Amino acid sequence: MILLISIFGVFLLGIIVFGSGQVFMPLFKSLWELLDKNGANINQDLIENIFTIANSTPGVIGTKFAAFTGYLISNGQWWGWLSLLLTYLVFAIPSILMIFWAYKMIAKTEQSKYLKNIIKYLRPVIIGILLTLSIQLFISTILPFVSFNNASSYLSLQKSSKSIFFSGWRFYALIFYTIFVILESFILYRKKVNLFILIIIHIIVGMIVFQPWFS
How far is Cα 24 from Cα 21, in angstroms, rounded to an integer? 5
Q: Tell me, what's the pLDDT at 21? A: 64
Taking only the tens of pLDDT, the chain with its 215 residues reads 788 888 888 888 888 876 666 678 878 888 888 888 888 888 888 888 888 788 777 777 888 898 999 888 888 788 888 999 999 999 988 888 888 887 777 777 667 777 777 777 878 887 887 788 778 778 878 888 887 766 566 777 777 777 888 888 889 999 999 888 888 888 888 888 887 888 888 888 888 888 887 76
Q: Tell me, what's the pLDDT at 18? A: 67
How far is Cα 185 from Cα 143, in angstroms, rounded to an integer? 20
State residue 82 phi and psi, 5-degree precision: -70, -45
- 205: number of CA atoms within 13 Å, CB side? 15
Whole-number Cα distances in Å, 38 to 19, 32, 110, 134:
28, 10, 46, 30
Q: Tell me, what's the pLDDT at 123? A: 81
- Going by the DSSP 8-state scheme, the letter that residue 160 receives in this structure is -
pTM of the model: 0.62
Calculate the CA 178 to chain-centre distance: 18
Domain ranges of the chain: 2-112
How far is Cα 208 from Cα 215, in angstroms, rounded to an integer? 14
How far is Cα 94 from Cα 99, in angstroms, rounded to an integer? 9
How far is Cα 99 from Cα 161, in angstroms, rounded to an integer? 40
